[in-house]
């Protein structure tokens, strides 16, 4: 059964008394809630709506796309359930992690009611599992759709009460409405029960706060029947375990709450944690955060939740309301067993070679490398169609980027889509067991700005903010955070320039050269000081980047003149035809020079020739020579540099009527004539031209004078028979490097 689709844009205003805890001033406007929702994965075939009657669960669209959220309830007296499909049941014999964002409405506009529950169950009703009232209808209100239903205070036996719950289950409740009556005396309690107060499930919750707790819905020990003195009245209460409360705020505070659940299959324990990510930035939070709460259970009773010892269990969410309405929504980040992936961020000051962590201070002009390391750990599916939504640190100007996969393949990151410090890029490969990692690397420079966006004044220090990036695939998402750091504005006294033959560009900071493939390139330059005294050569380092990849750092030699250097780019590093080198210098005084660049064209020898050529003529019974129907257009381009040498040769196969060299052979030869001599290409390789270049980009039209009996001609014997013949000409260079 597919979930119904929610049409958004409904604005609902509710008024009434508020509970006694801090709430947000944010309006409980469904459109605003969904437009401000965090990123999740699209709810796919892993979940199905429960088959209970009048199931209120619907899918909702957020600003991140269709089917991002499931809304369990939004009105009074509702029950919504959503369960994993059979193929997505959780494997209890492996460690599992589930992560989601949960929204419980805004308690500032009305009393909340009643909350949601995470449920693991092996109930024989499967997708139809829910608590039921005494008439067999799905339970609502305080039951959250999972606990035993004693809203009529009719049970005198906990065994019978437990039978009305979801069987063979364990649940975590996120209870936003405290079912508790302030008892003054037995008579007033009896009068309250007589007057229709539904139940007292939460009498053991200190302070009557909204809470998180866990228990076994289908076990009698989860409940107690309490007699009200000698009045003849009684009530049922729930025996909560693993209680988490916030005495300063409820769950229905108008914010999304991040929840992580971790199943330890060895210990048979479940750890549940709420608010482990910031409600505003999505950055990870730890126990020092006041709203961070966590609990690890005792070993779960496997005979209760998996009585057939299948090792599998269905899981999902239930949500309900009673007298009060509440918008209960869930967005999934991680589905157990589907894809287990993670990501971490690492920022490195490549100028100093040190990691940049929380509170680190770096100098303006320092070069930085930001690495996001994505890892596929396991899963039923590959991590598909991953989109990197990058929020990059302030005060850093990024210049290049690359994605490197475990299989060695790389993608260049297009920075033209950079909007402020935000960038979206899509991985071209899925991550899987055989291609398990991808590293998204960005190179940049520390460039602090003031509050107006202008370069910060020398000597001032700016502070960046913690930023979190999301990596969202079709079936899993992860986040990675870069901690806040500081950037000190420094006016560098050092400049860098090319010297000698290397200074051949429009300025002494830009240059270009061509080199024969397999040869290294050595460039010369100088680091100068505008003010102050020069640092010693041994304290000046050269930092190189070639085609976006870092080169080994080198140090100037004290045996050379002050600031002068030669820098060699090894041939092994020249991986493209056109290679872009960027170089800068740093010293022990905190100076970083300007960038100098060099374009190194790795020369090549290329032949351009028509893929096919045709000869045709009328047979006369006599020997004859036929010219090609069209020009051969044979060109050679040599970019290996002045003085390079090449010799072009060609050979022709026999000409036959068969496509595979079989059939009738044409009595003919392909001849080359240059006006004085003739060479038979059909007899083997023949020299067509010998040439030495006179420039770094030398283009030679070999066939430029092939006319009037010169060039390649087909010499046809007198015994030729009518037909269609074909053959092959093989071109080759010899003595290409001299």
Residue 77 CB burial class (10 angstroms; 0-12, 13-18, ≥19): middle
**In this structure, are 637 and 729 located in the same domain?**
yes
Tell me if 12 sits within 8 A of 28, measured CB to CB: yes
Q: What is the mean pLDDT of residues 80-104?
A: 94
**In this structure, are 70 and 140 located in the same domain?**
yes
Residue 419 CB burial class (10 angstroms; 0-12, 13-18, ≥19): exposed
Tell me if 319 sits within 8 A of 288, measured CB to CB: no
User: What torsion do the CA atoms of 352, 354, 356, 359 make, to the nearest 10 degrees?
Assistant: -90
Residue 8 CB burial class (10 angstroms; 0-12, 13-18, ≥19): middle
**In this structure, are 85 and 207 located in the same domain?**
yes
Q: What is the mean pLDDT of residues 323-348?
A: 93
Q: Give residue-wise pLDDT tens across range 457-471.
A: 999 999 999 999 999
Question: What percent of the chain is modeled with pLDDT above 70?
Answer: 94
Tokens of 20: 């006694």
**pLDDT at 207 exceeding the cut of 90:** no
Strands 293-296 vs 269-274: parallel, antiparallel or unpaired: antiparallel
Domain that holds residue 240: 4-334
Task: Tell me how many degrees the CA angle 230-232-238 measures, rounded to the nearest 5.
Answer: 100
**In this structure, are 472 and 546 located in the same domain?**
no
**In this structure, are 171 and 111 located in the same domain?**
yes
Beta bridge pairs of residue 672: 679, 712
**In this structure, are 330 and 377 located in the same domain?**
no
Task: Tell me how many degrees the CA angle 332-479-453 measures, rounded to the nearest 5.
Answer: 125
Length of the chain: 738
Question: Rounded to an integer, what distance in angstroms lies between the CA atom of residue 175 and that of residue 408?
Answer: 50
Question: Rounded to an integer, what distance in angstroms lies between the CA atom of residue 445 and that of residue 244?
Answer: 45
Question: Rounded to an integer, what distance in angstroms lies between the CA atom of residue 256 and that of residue 586?
Answer: 46
Q: Which of 334, 369, 397 is the last residue of a domain?
A: 334
DSSP reduced 3-state for 88: helix
The secondary element (H helix, E strand) that includes residue 35 is helix 30-35
Question: Rounded to an integer, what distance in angstroms lies between the CA atom of residue 513 and that of residue 600?
Answer: 5
Question: How many Å from the N-terminal Cα to the C-terminal Cα in the chain?
Answer: 75
Q: Give residue-wise pLDDT tens across range 138-194.
A: 999 889 999 999 887 788 999 999 999 999 999 999 999 888 876 678 888 888 888
**CATH number of the domain that residue 545 is part of:** 2.60.40.10
Question: Rounded to an integer, what distance in angstroms lies between the CA atom of residue 85 and that of residue 83?
Answer: 6
The position carrying tokens 């009643």 is 114
Tokens of 703: 């066939």
Q: What is the pLDDT of residue 419?
A: 94
**In this structure, are 90 and 107 located in the same domain?**
yes
Tell me if 649 sits within 8 A of 685, measured CB to CB: yes
Does 557 or 195 have the greater pLDDT score? 557
- Count the Cβ atoms, other than its own, within 10 Å of residue 430: 17
Q: What is the pLDDT of residue 127?
A: 96
**In this structure, are 320 and 400 located in the same domain?**
no
3-state helix, strand, coil in the chain (%, to 5): 5, 40, 50
Q: What is the pLDDT of residue 735?
A: 63
Which pLDDT band, with edges at 50, 70 and 90, does 589 fall under? very high
Question: Rounded to an integer, what distance in angstroms lies between the CA atom of residue 138 and that of residue 330?
Answer: 21
Which pLDDT band, with edges at 50, 70 and 90, does 323 fall under? confident
Q: What is the pLDDT of residue 549?
A: 84
DSSP at 277: B
**In this structure, are 701 and 593 located in the same domain?**
no
Alpha-carbon Rg for the chain, nearest whole angstrom, is 38
Q: What is the pLDDT of residue 258?
A: 96
Q: What is the pLDDT of residue 456?
A: 92
DSSP at 20: S
Q: What is the pLDDT of residue 198?
A: 64
Tell me if 144 sits within 8 A of 175, measured CB to CB: yes
**CATH number of the domain that residue 437 is part of:** 2.60.40.740
DSSP reduced 3-state for 241: strand
Identify which of 634, 316, 609, 351 has the alpha carbon closest to the alpha carbon of residue 492. Answer: 351
- How many domains does the structure of the chain reveal? 4
**In this structure, are 257 and 328 located in the same domain?**
yes
82: Cα within 13 Å, side-chain hemisphere: 26
Tell me if 256 sits within 8 A of 40, measured CB to CB: no
DSSP reduced 3-state for 609: coil
Question: Rounded to an integer, what distance in angstroms lies between the CA atom of residue 320 and that of residue 50?
Answer: 13
Q: Which of 465, 488, 511 is the last residue of a domain?
A: 488
DSSP reduced 3-state for 510: strand
Tell me if 32 sits within 8 A of 255, measured CB to CB: no
Tell me if 76 sits within 8 A of 322, measured CB to CB: yes
Top-confidence range, 30-39, 204-213, 354-363, 594-603: 354-363
Q: Which of 602, 629, 663 is the last residue of a domain?
A: 602
Does 112 or 574 have the greater pLDDT score? 574
Mean of all residue pLDDT scores within the chain? 89
Omega cis (within 30) before 114: yes
The position carrying tokens 């606990």 is 147
Question: Rounded to an integer, what distance in angstroms lies between the CA atom of residue 18 and that of residue 16?
Answer: 7
**CATH number of the domain that residue 166 is part of:** 2.60.120.200
Strands 4-5 vs 58-62: parallel, antiparallel or unpaired: parallel
Identify which of 236, 231, 173 has the alpha carbon closest to the alpha carbon of residue 204. Answer: 236
Identify which of 531, 584, 578 has the alpha carbon closest to the alpha carbon of residue 554. Answer: 584
Tell me if 725 sits within 8 A of 666, measured CB to CB: yes
Beta bridge pairs of residue 469: 480
Task: Tell me how many degrees the CA angle 203-101-373 measures, rounded to the nearest 5.
Answer: 135
Ramachandran area for residue 408 (φ above 0: left; ψ -120 to 50: alpha; else beta): left
**In this structure, are 361 and 458 located in the same domain?**
yes
738: Cα within 13 Å, side-chain hemisphere: 14
Q: What is the mean pLDDT of residues 542-571?
A: 94
**In this structure, are 115 and 11 located in the same domain?**
yes
Tell me if 132 sits within 8 A of 164, measured CB to CB: yes
Q: What is the pLDDT of residue 2?
A: 33
Question: Rounded to an integer, what distance in angstroms lies between the CA atom of residue 154 and that of residue 373?
Answer: 57
Instruction: Outline where 316-390 has alpha helix (H).
Output: none
Question: Rounded to an integer, what distance in angstroms lies between the CA atom of residue 120 and that of residue 124?
Answer: 13
Q: Which of 18-22, 588-592, 616-620 has the lowest mean pLDDT?
A: 18-22
Task: Provide CB contacts within 8 A for 226, sequence distance 6+.
Answer: 200, 203, 234, 235, 236, 237
DSSP reduced 3-state for 221: helix
Q: What is the pLDDT of residue 248?
A: 53
Question: Rounded to an integer, what distance in angstroms lies between the CA atom of residue 590 and that of residue 586?
Answer: 7
């Amino acid at each position: 059964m597919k979930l119904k689709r929610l049409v958004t844009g409904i604005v609902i205003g509710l008024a009434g008394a508020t509970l006694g805890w801090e709430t947000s001033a944010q309006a409980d406007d469904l459109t605003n809630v969904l437009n401000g929702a965090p990123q999740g994965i699209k709810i796919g075939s892993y979940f199905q709506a429960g088959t209970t009657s009048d199931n209120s669960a619907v899918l909702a669209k957020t600003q991140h796309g269709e089917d991002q959220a499931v809304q369990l309830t939004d009105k009074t007296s509702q029950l919504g359930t959503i369960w994993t499909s059979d193929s997505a049941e959780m494997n209890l014999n492996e460690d599992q992690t589930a992560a989601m964002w949960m929204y419980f409405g805004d308690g500032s506009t009305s009393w909340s009611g009643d909350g949601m529950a995470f449920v693991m169950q092996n109930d024989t009703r499967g997708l139809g599992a829910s608590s039921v009232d005494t008439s067999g209808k799905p339970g609502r209100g305080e039951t959250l759709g999972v606990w035993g239903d004693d809203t009529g205070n009719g049970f005198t036996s906990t065994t019978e009460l437990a039978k009305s719950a979801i069987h063979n289950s364990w649940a975590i409740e996120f209870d936003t409405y405290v079912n508790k009556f302030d008892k003054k005396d037995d008579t007033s309690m009896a009068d309250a029960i007589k007057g229709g107060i539904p139940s007292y499930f939460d009498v053991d919750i200190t302070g009557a706060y909204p809470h998180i707790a866990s228990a076994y819905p289908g076990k009698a020990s989860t409940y107690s029947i309490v007699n009200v003195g000698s009045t003849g009245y009684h009530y049922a209460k729930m025996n909560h375990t693993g209680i988490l409360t916030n005495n300063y705020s409820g769950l229905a505070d108008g914010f999304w709450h991040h929840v992580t659940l971790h199943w330890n299959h060895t210990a048979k324990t479940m750890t549940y944690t709420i608010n482990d990510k910031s409600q505003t930035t999505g950055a990870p939070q730890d126990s020092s955060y006041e709203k961070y709460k966590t609990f690890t259970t005792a070993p779960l009773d496997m005979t209760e939740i998996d009585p057939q010892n299948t090792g599998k269990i269905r899981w999902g969410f239930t949500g309900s309301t009673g007298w009060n309405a509440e918008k209960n929504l869930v967005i999934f980040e991680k589905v157990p067993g589907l894809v287990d992936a993670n990501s971490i961020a690492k920022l490195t000051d490549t100028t100093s070679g040190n990691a940049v962590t929380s509170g680190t201070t770096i100098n303006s002009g320092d070069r930085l490398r930001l690495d996001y390391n994505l890892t596929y750990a396991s899963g039923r599916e590959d991590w598909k169609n991953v989109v990197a939504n990058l929020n990059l640190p302030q005060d850093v100007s990024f210049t290049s980027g690359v994605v490197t996969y475990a299989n060695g393949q790389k993608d260049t990151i297009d920075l033209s889509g950079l909007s402020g410090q935000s960038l979206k890029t899509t991985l071209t490969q899925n991550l899987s067991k055989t291609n398990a990692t991808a590293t998204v690397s960005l190179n940049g420079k520390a460039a602090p700005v003031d509050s107006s966006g202008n370069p910060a004044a020398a000597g001032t220090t700016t502070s960046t903010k913690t930023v979190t990036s999301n990596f969202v695939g079709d079936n899993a998402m992860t986040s990675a955070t870069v901690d806040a750091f500081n950037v000190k504005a420094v006016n560098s006294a050092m400049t860098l320039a090319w010297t000698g033959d290397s200074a051949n560009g429009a300025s002494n900071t830009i240059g270009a050269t061509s080199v024969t493939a397999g040869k290294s390139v050595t460039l010369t330059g100088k680091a100068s000081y505008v003010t102050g005294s020069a640092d010693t050569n041994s304290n000046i380092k050269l930092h190189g980047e070639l085609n976006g990849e870092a080169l080994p750092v080198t140090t100037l030699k004290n045996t050379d003149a002050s600031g002068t250097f030669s820098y060699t780019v090894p041939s092994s590093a020249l991986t493209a035809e056109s290679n872009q080198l960027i170089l800068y210098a740093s010293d022990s005084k905190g100076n970083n020079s300007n960038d100098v660049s060099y374009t190194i064209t790795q020369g090549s020898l290329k032949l351009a020739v028509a893929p096919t050529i045709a000869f045709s003529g009328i047979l006369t019974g006599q020997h004859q020579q036929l010219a090609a129907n069209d020009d051969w257009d044979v060109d050679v381009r040599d970019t290996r540099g002045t003085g390079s040498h090449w010799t072009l040769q060609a050979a022709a196969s026999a000409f036959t009527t068969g496509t595979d060299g079989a059939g009738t052979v044409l009595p003919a030869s392909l001849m080359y004539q240059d006006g004085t001599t003739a060479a038979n290409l059909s007899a083997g390789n023949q020299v067509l031209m010998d040439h030495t270049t006179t420039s770094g980009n030398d283009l030679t039209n070999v066939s430029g004078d092939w006319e009037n009996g010169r060039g390649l001609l087909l010499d046809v014997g007198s015994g030729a028979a009518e037909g269609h013949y074909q053959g092959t000409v093989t071109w080759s260079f010899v003595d290409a490097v001299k």
